[in-house]
Amino acid sequence: MPDRKDLQYTAEHEWVLVEDDVATVGITAYAADKLGDVVFVDLPEAGSDIASGSVVGEIESTKSVGELFAPVDGTVTESNQAVVDAPELVNSDPFGEGWLIRVRFEALPELMSFDEYTALVGE
């Protein structure tokens, strides 16, 4: 699991791990906690082109339905089938096994640092 301080974040409560030209994306523990027990995850298929800021997936919990927003423009290289099969991974390990998608991108938009994100959520 990456150190949370090494990740980048979005205002939509997603974390982004950048490795070369691939971004691994998940939702933060804060978002998972606010959603409650996740019971269903819908993710884009590998090969899907996505645009930064667009809705690319859905995370359904016993409390509500949340949307997954694309933090970058690019092509989905992988969706986490383990999360689709066991949505509770989003709650139990949001920064590890609960990752959602990997996206190959050409340009990385400006994202928040760990300190900026914790200031946003007040933690």
pLDDT over 90 (residue 3): no
Number of separate domains in the chain: 1
Q: Which of 23, 31, 113 is nearest to 72 (CA)?
A: 23
pTM for the structure as a whole:
0.94
The percent helix, strand, coil of the chain (3-state, each to 5) is 20, 35, 40
Say if 115 falls within a structural domain: no
pLDDT digits (tens, 9 = 90+) for 28-80: 999 999 999 999 999 999 999 999 999 999 999 998 999 999 999 999 999 99
Instruction: Judge whether 119 lies within some domain.
Output: no
Q: Tens digits of per-residue pLDDT, 71-121? A: 999 999 999 999 999 999 999 999 999 999 999 998 889 999 999 999 999
Per-residue pLDDT, 2? 58
Residue carrying the six token digits 């290289």: 77
For residue 50, being part of any structural domain is answered with yes
In a domain, 60, yes or no: yes
Domain residue limits at 9:
4-107
Instruction: Please report, for the domain that includes residue 11, its CATH number.
Output: 2.40.50.100
For residues 26 and 28, give the distance between their C-alpha atoms in angstroms, rounded to a whole number. 7
Q: Residue 4: what pLDDT? A: 86
Asked if residue 116 is part of any domain, the answer here is no
d(CA 53, CA 35): 20
| Residue 14 placed within a domain | yes
